[in-house]
A = this chain, B = another copy of it.
Amino acid sequence: MTRKKVKLAYIYNDSARRATYKKRKKGLMKKVSELSTLCGVDACAIVYSPYDAQPEVWPSPSGVQRVLDRFRTVPQMDQLKKMVNQDGFLRQRITKTCDQLKRQRKDNREKEVTQAMFQCLGGGVSFGQPAHDGLE
């Protein structure tokens, strides 16, 4: 989004992907915290990556836990599916997306062993914004 308009697709270059990840994760966490602060809403974000041994979270592990507990009680999938099935345009879009997904799966399969090991071997605990318990 800057020197050049980036294509919204998986970045295959390892170092470029990692660099982008670091920047965007930071930006995302900031956005969540701002939304929470400005509007007084309960929100959280969780990101898993091979770069962080622990998931990056906002606001704090316990804050996330609270939001998660709340989420568990809410059923909404049925409604979403119903909405989607009604729209032909969406369906077309989904079909197209599905093809891309297949290609991605193939790629992922090749990586998974390495990924699993990387996760296991990865280092220390690190959370996004430890000090701030977020919300309101």
Give chain A's interface residues, CB within 8 Å of chain B: 6-11, 17-18, 20-21, 24-25, 27-28, 31-32, 34-35, 37-50, 54-55, 57, 60-62, 64-65, 67-68, 70-72, 74-81, 83-84, 87, 89-90, 93-94, 97-98, 100-101, 104-105, 108, 110-117, 119-121, 125-136
Known: A87-B120, A120-B94. A43 touches B46 (CB 8 A): yes
| Integer count of this chain's copies in the complex | 2
**Chain B residues near A25 (CB, 8 Å)?**
35
**Chain B residues near A75 (CB, 8 Å)?**
61
- Minimum Cβ distance to chain B for residue A97 (Å): 4
> A100–B31 contact, CB under 8 A?
no
